[in-house]
Amino acid sequence: MGGSEVGCSSPNLWLAQDPSKRWGEVFFLIYTPFWLTLCLGIVVPYKLYENFTEWEYLFLGLVSALPAFIIPMILVGKADKNIQWKDRYWVKFPYYEFVDRASMYTVGSLFYAIYFFVSFPMFLRIDEKPGDKWDLPRVAIDALGAAMLVTIILDLWRIFLGPIVPVPDSKQCLQPGLPWFPGNA
C-alpha cells in the first residue's frame, strides 16, 4: 500500500496490521465520540435542531465533518510520513470489483432498498397521532420487528431468487436451502 510495511504485526487483533490503516482506524475511533457527543449528546437532547436555520445545519455539518479531513493532514502518523497524501489509508474510499457492475447497481440497489421499504412505514407511525406518544419499549419492539421482517425478506430473496450474478459450483454452499427443512440434510 504505497510504501507502508504490510508485513509488520500488530499486537492488537482488533486493529489492522498495515501501519497506515491502523493509524486511520485509531484516529477515527478517537474522533468519533467527539462528533457523536456534539450531535447526539448536545444538539438532539436539547432539541437545538428545532430552531436551526439552513446556515446552522451547514455549520453543524462542517464542524462535525471537517476535522476528519483537517486533523489527519496536520497530525500525520509515523506510518504516513513517507507516503504520498493520495496513498494514505484515511484518504482512500472503499472500491469493490464486481463481476457485473450494472447488475450490482440495479439489483443491488433494490436489495438495499428493502431496508427502507420495511422500516420507513414503521418509522412513519412513531408519534404521528397527537396524544399518543410512543415510549421506548414500543419503539424498540417496532424496530426489532422491522429488523426481523427485513431479515426474513432478505433470506427469502437468497433462497428463491439466489445470487445477483452466477456463482461457480466451487464457491457454492454444500447444503442449499434451510438445513432444518426435510430433504436438505
Q: Are 27 and 71 in contact (CB under 8 A)?
A: yes
Q: How far apart are CA 13 and CA 68, in angstroms?
A: 24
* Residue 118: predicted pLDDT: 87
pLDDT per residue as tens digits for the range 58-77: 999 999 999 999 999 999 98
Q: How far apart are CA 153 and CA 148, in angstroms?
A: 9
Instruction: Pick the more confident residue, 126 or 2.
Output: 126
* Structural domain for 69, as ranges: 19-91
- The structure's pTM equals 0.51
Q: Are 177 and 184 in contact (CB under 8 A)?
A: yes
Q: Does residue 176 form part of some domain?
A: no
End residue of a domain, out of 44, 63, 91: 91
Q: What end-to-end distance do the CA atoms of the chain give, in Å?
A: 45
Q: Give the total number of structural domains in the chain.
A: 2
pLDDT per residue as tens digits for the range 109-150: 888 888 888 888 888 888 888 888 888 899 889 889 999 999
Q: How far apart are CA 49 and CA 42, in angstroms?
A: 10
What 3-state DSSP class applies to 52?
A: coil
Q: Does residue 178 form part of some domain?
A: no
pLDDT beyond 80 at 79: yes
State the cell numbers at 103: 447488475
